[in-house]
Amino acid sequence: MNDILAEMRLPTTDLGRDIPFYTGTLKMRMDMIYPADNPRIAVFSGHGLRLRIEKGAPEAPGTMRLRVPDPDRFAGGARELTAPNGTRIEIVERDPPLVLPPTEHSFVVHRLVDSAPWIVGRAGMQYRDLVPSRLGGAMIASHIRIPDGGPVPDMVHYHKVGFQLIFCYRGWVEVVYEDQGGPRRLGPGDCFIQPPEIRHRVLEASDDCQVIEIGVPAEHITEIDHEMTLPTPQLRPDREWDGQRFVHNLARDARWQPFRIPGFVCRDTTVAEATRGVAGVLVVRPGDGTPPWTRHDGDILFGFVMEGGVTLEGEGRESYRLSAGDAFVIPPGLATRLSGASADLEWLEVSLPAGFATETLGSGDRPR
């Protein structure tokens, strides 16, 4: 297979003008030209491409996209060029900075019974969007399932993200991570924090494995790493990626404590500490007392009901009875109350940032 060379063919009408453009301006190497007395075909290679420029070729000139470490020092700083043969050249940064769109705040309730069909995504996994608006691109929340257990056809890959949570809802999944030893199993109530660009690969899953995945921003790039083999020989639990540490939090180690809202208790997942406050992840259950009306000043506050039921009331909004599989987002400044919780209620709360203030407004009628 290593002896095979692939070429992309592009048309030209004047090969003499193309040669200095591809070799000089684009810094490619000319590997072949013929016939010698009146050339009509030239082959160029470079930047991971092999191009066959041919007089009279029937294809359209097309577009070539070059990812350059320093675009200002390539091709005179141009961002768009047109080759003599008509091929359009786009010149972009090789690794552009991550852009976090401003959050478009809204009150969101997305119920399982109202959901659209599951969509087959990467590695054959099925996806259900929990926040269709994605808050203007600020975040994505996905309910992911693998109906049939066994090995997962995954590759070593990484995500260019600001924050990413994998929380196991049903079943189990095994994943291997860069510098974190051998395979790690995630069971119900357990979670991973995948720091930005940590290499990993999903190995195997149980029948009907289901996870909740939160990503910031909503649209982020997943890249395949063809060079790294996992597991890596190093075990570096304190390593950081962009200021964040890997987290493998186990539900069985939970310590329950008072929640920010009276009437509930919660368990921490150590995510706030490991991400230096980028995000917080809590699991919440009913406690003692009557939950009051509250409002918060955080940027993103997402909830997913895992078990039981509860009524979500909002100032000036209709009330929603939520049950397992339902998701909601409470924007900053909106007074809300979670009432009528069933004894088996359990929900996942994800906040960005981890630290924010909650104002208690009382447990009477709706605030005016």
Average pLDDT over residues 181-194: 96
Q: What are the backbone dihedrals phi and psi of residue 20, each rounded to the nearest 5 degrees, phi first?
A: -65, -25
- Residues 6 or more apart whose CB falls under 8 angstroms from that of 82 comprise 88, 89
Residues 316-336 as b/e (b if ≥16 CB within 10 A, e otherwise) read eeeebebbbbbbbbbbeebbb
pLDDT at 98 over 60: yes
**Class level of CATH domain 253-362:** mainly beta
Residue 217's pLDDT band, with cuts at 50, 70 and 90, is very high
Q: What is the mean pLDDT of the chain?
A: 94
Q: By C-alpha distance, which of 134, 198, 190, 123 is closest to 164?
A: 198
Residue 362: what pLDDT? 74
Which tokens go with 147? Answer: 């109906």
Taking domain 115-249, whether its CATH number is 3.40.50.620 is answered by no
Same fold, 115-249 and 253-362: yes
Spatial separation of the C-alpha atoms in residues 238 and 179, rounded to whole Å: 10
For the chain, give every domain's residue range. Answer: 8-93, 115-249, 253-362
Q: By C-alpha distance, which of 261, 325, 331, 279 is closest to 301?
A: 331
Taking domain 8-93, whether its CATH number is 3.10.180.10 is answered by yes
Average pLDDT over residues 5-30: 96
Average pLDDT over residues 168-193: 97
Average pLDDT over residues 214-238: 94
